[in-house]
A and B are shown apart, each in its own frame.
Chain A
Amino acid sequence: MLPARYVVTGRTVETADSVTLRLEPLERPIPRFQPGQFTMLYARGVGEIAVSISGDPSVVDSALTQTVRAVGAVSRALHDAKPGTVVGVRGPYGVGWQPSLAWERDVLVVAGGVGLAPLRPVVLTVLAQRWRYRRLIVVAGARTPREFLYSDELKWWSSRDDLALELTVDHAADGWTGQVGFVTQPLARLPLDPAATTAFVCGPEPMMRFSAETLLRRGVPADRIRISLERNMKCGIGQCGHCQLGPLLVCRDGPVVDYARAAELLSVREL
């Protein structure tokens, strides 16, 4: 499938290594996305990678919002793309978070590092349709206070009384008066109604495992804990087998799966 051409029309620096890009279609736009879906973003002459869509699903326009962390050649090229740069976009692909699974339930969002990017659309969906959900709790961890994505939005979230925000860092810095510790700490002590909670967890794999195990201990059912898997992708549409994890093709059957399914797969070491 050929990528659609999009142009970078906005670039917000989030942290020392991450930016949020606004992309607008030059011709036909890709179809509307669901929270948790990703696109294959192509940096001309460098390569193509999977990147989650981090925009607001309730905004009806053809622009895409994607947050990119520079870790290697392709992500660096996309990270450095200035307004006016043309990129290729395929998608949206994959099974997303499906926030509707949490209607009339408590929503617990747990993000580690850049894992907040694919979860932002979940939080914005719940806020846009607040009456459909019960409590909304967001727990986010970062290495240092300066490494939180969307810092202005986090300030807005923390000022709301229909959202409980818990931020925690691995290493405190001057002026930080918030929590210092791993995300499992707030998860272990937050007042929860476990049987009525649906959790959406995203971050590095061990962080998702530790968080899911903490939630299981609290009594949240495994099929109510949704996590987003990350595997290197090539085709993005279930044809090349590149992203295989046990019986799953992550691009087609995921990236979001429930922990009842994922627990066993995550314990399989990659060769």
Chain B
Amino acid sequence: MSMFDQLSAFALLSGMSPTHIAVLSSAAKEVSFAAGDRLFHEGAPAKGCWLVQRGCVAVDAAVPGRGSVVVQTVGPGEVVGWSWLITPARWHFGAIAVAPTVAIELDTDQLKAFAEHDSSFGYPIAVALLTMVLDRLQTTRARLLDLYRNPADTPMSPL
């Protein structure tokens, strides 16, 4: 499958025109990670965005006394890495492959340059990222509700 076809198959990019998918393809490459390979470290300068096709990536944080704590996992059809969009571009969390993983890596320097140069490309990109961030926010809120807790227990979350 060509990069164009692979990107077109991504639900998140369904709002983008073929011209824009073609532009995106020029900044995209396929990458793979073995289980245990780290995509990025918490606190490092944020560059890159990965559209996961197969496998599983864990988003994690180092917590003193608890080691590396997995906050969320990202699977096929989902995206990891958006901190590059907002300054200061630093990773707030780390990301590590927890299974053999294949992804499309986007060169975010190029993406930023394209988007700043042509807002008709930048807007759908921003909408796609916002859609992803909103989904992530909703699922995080749902987890904050601690819905499966036993009503007889003290809440684990403050909500």
Residues of A within 8 A of B (CB): 17, 69-72, 112-114, 141-143, 147, 168, 170, 172, 176-182, 184-186, 188-189, 203-204, 206-207, 210
B34: CB under 8 A from chain A?
no
Cβ A141 vs Cβ B148 within 8 A: yes
Contacts of B143 in A (CB 8 A): 170, 181-182
**B70 → chain A, closest Cβ, in Å?**
4
B76: CB under 8 A from chain A?
yes
Secondary structure type dominating chain A contacts: mixed
If A179-B56, A180-B72 touch, does A210 touch B138 (CB 8 Å cutoff)? yes
Contacts of B77 in A (CB 8 A): 188-189
B135: CB under 8 A from chain A?
yes
**A266 → chain B, closest Cβ, in Å?**
14
Cβ A170 vs Cβ B146 within 8 A: yes
Which of chain B's residues has its CB closest to A207's CB?
B147
Cβ A182 vs Cβ B142 within 8 A: yes
* Most chain B beta carbons < 10 A, residue from A17, A168, A181, A186: A181
Cβ A189 vs Cβ B78 within 8 A: yes
**Within the assembled complex, what's the spacing in Å between the Cα atoms of A247 and B76?**
42
**A216 → chain B, closest Cβ, in Å?**
14
Cβ B148 vs Cβ A112 within 8 A: yes
Which of chain B's residues has its CB closest to A213's CB?
B138
B145: CB under 8 A from chain A?
yes
Contacts of B99 in A (CB 8 A): 177
Secondary structure type dominating chain B contacts: loop
B75: CB under 8 A from chain A?
yes
Q: Interface readout for B130-159 with A: 1 if CB under 8 Å, 0 if not?
A: 000001001110110111111110001000
If A185-B78, A189-B77 touch, does A113 touch B70 (CB 8 Å cutoff)? no
Cβ B148 vs Cβ A186 within 8 A: no
Which of chain A's residues has its CB closest to B145's CB?
A206
If A180-B58, A182-B143, A184-B139 touch, does A17 touch B150 (CB 8 Å cutoff)? yes
Residue in contact with A181 in the complex, picked from B98, B139, B145, CB distance below 8 Å: B139
If A71-B150, A143-B149 touch, does A180 touch B70 (CB 8 Å cutoff)? yes
Which of chain B's residues has its CB closest to A15's CB?
B150
Cβ A189 vs Cβ B150 within 8 A: no
Contacts of B145 in A (CB 8 A): 206
Cβ B73 vs Cβ A147 within 8 A: no
Contacts of A179 in B (CB 8 A): 56, 73, 75
B69: CB under 8 A from chain A?
yes
B71: CB under 8 A from chain A?
yes
A and B contact pairs by CB, cutoff 8 A, 29 listed: A69-B150, A71-B151, A72-B152, A112-B147, A113-B147, A143-B146, A143-B148, A147-B148, A172-B69, A172-B70, A176-B70, A177-B98, A180-B70, A181-B72, A181-B143, A182-B142, A182-B143, A184-B142, A185-B75, A185-B78, A185-B139, A188-B135, A189-B78, A203-B147, A204-B147, A206-B142, A206-B147, A207-B142, A207-B148
